[in-house]
Amino acid sequence: MDLNWLDDFLALAEHKTFARAAETRNVTQPAFSRRIQALEEWMGTRLFARSPQGTTLTPAGDFLRAHAEDVSRRVHRLRQDTRAVAGREASAITIAATHALSFVFFPDWIRGHARFASLGPLNLISDTMEACEQLMARGAADFLLCHSHRDAMPRLDTRHFISAIVGQDALVPLCAPLADGSPRWPLPGDPSAPPRLLSYRPQSALGRIVAATLGRNGLTLTAHNALTAQLAATLLTMARQGDGVAWLPRTLAEDDLTAGRLVEAGDGRFTIGVEIHLIRPRHRQSPTVEAFWAAVTAGEHRDQ
């Protein structure tokens, strides 16, 4: 059996459509379908029930899902640990970080760390939250650096992962100012002239947080979606150019706010306080990784 089949299976179980799952796995839909079929043939049973509305797990598929993520993570981790024993990755630390934190927060945070000079090789993987979660689930990264909010926590099983808070941030609705300094696209919006909304794709942690927080707090907007993008940096540029309002990390937009290129579009009700978490597997890792974690979490809040 190809281990990729298990990762394909988990992607389809989560997204429930072949098109969406194939996109997250970076393969064509026909190739993805063949791999799912190959897994079902190897298992000797149907794992998914197909319908025009998408797929659902069969009882056999539901049973497999309960074990597949752990198997995938352990095998990928075994591969990485074996390489470490061989000396190829013994001192390297791999950190998966979302794009927004890779741009501004990570460089200052890691350089300001007391052990930075003695850390040895660092491998930073910058990607979407969804891709970073998959790297962690497979054991392909030692740590995940991401934004987090109680209404939209990372999709990693807390039985296998632990996190520490390493920073604070805020998602602020920002837009370009008018000549008098007032927001070009004020919130909550006027039905006669609704603001243009610049939003995140579903793979983004920031998009998850904004959607969950506004919905659960009963905050409604009169707005129409003008653009959906993957990167906060893209939305920042579009907002700066007057194309709409976007919820942007204050850490990313601080310079534009200070220079007056962006202003808050709301009255404070729409600002979302978030934490920056560093996540790792619960099981013991290499001495280098453990030493880094111990230094990071000294005096920090840890989620047990």
SS in 3 state form for 111-130? HCCCCHHHCCCEEEEEECHH
Task: Kindly list the domain boundaries of the chain, sorted by start residue.
Answer: 3-82, 93-304
User: So what's the pLDDT on residue 144?
Assistant: 96
Distance of alpha carbon 182 from alpha carbon 176, whole angstroms: 9
pTM of the model as a whole: 0.69
User: Measured in Å, how far apart are the chain's first and last C-alpha atoms?
Assistant: 35
Give the bridge partners for 148, in sequence order.
Answer: 275
Q: Is the dihedral of CA 249, 252, 258, 261 positive or negative?
A: negative
What would be the CATH architecture of the domain defined by 3-82? Orthogonal Bundle (1.10)
User: So what's the pLDDT on residue 273?
Assistant: 95
Contact 13, 65 (CB under 8 A): yes
Q: Tally Cβ neighbours within 10 Å of residue 301.
A: 11
Task: Write b or e for each residue in 168-202: b if 16 or more Cβ atoms lie within 10 A of its Cβ, otherwise e.
Answer: ebebbbbbbbeeeeebbbbbbbeeeeebbbbbbeb
Give the pairing of strands 93-98 and 122-127.
Answer: parallel
Both tokens of 226, joined, read 């003008």
Distance of alpha carbon 277 from alpha carbon 154, whole angstroms: 10
Distance of alpha carbon 37 from alpha carbon 40, whole angstroms: 5
SS in 3 state form for 67-119? HHHHHHHHHHHHHHHHHHHCCCCCCCEEEEEEHHHHHCHHHHHHHCCCCHHHC
User: So what's the pLDDT on residue 251?
Assistant: 93
User: So what's the pLDDT on residue 219?
Assistant: 54
User: In this predicted model, what pLDDT tens digit does every residue of 13-68 receive, in sequence order?
Assistant: 999 999 999 998 888 999 999 999 999 999 999 999 999 888 999 999 999 988 88
Give the pairing of strands 93-98 and 143-148.
Answer: parallel
Contact 240, 211 (CB under 8 A): no
User: So what's the pLDDT on residue 138?
Assistant: 86
Distance of alpha carbon 57 from alpha carbon 51, whole angstroms: 11
User: So what's the pLDDT on residue 85?
Assistant: 58
User: So what's the pLDDT on residue 304?
Assistant: 46
Which residue stretches of the chain are H helix? 3-15, 18-24, 29-43, 59-85, 99-103, 105-111, 129-138, 205-216, 232-240, 250-259, 287-297
- Measured CA to CA in angstroms, residue 302 lies from 5, 20, 198, 280, 298 at distances of 34, 34, 34, 11, 10
Contact 210, 247 (CB under 8 A): yes
Distance of alpha carbon 118 from alpha carbon 187, whole angstroms: 48
Is 3.40.190.290 the CATH number for 93-304?
yes
Give me the residues of the chain with pLDDT under 50, please.
Answer: 88-89, 304
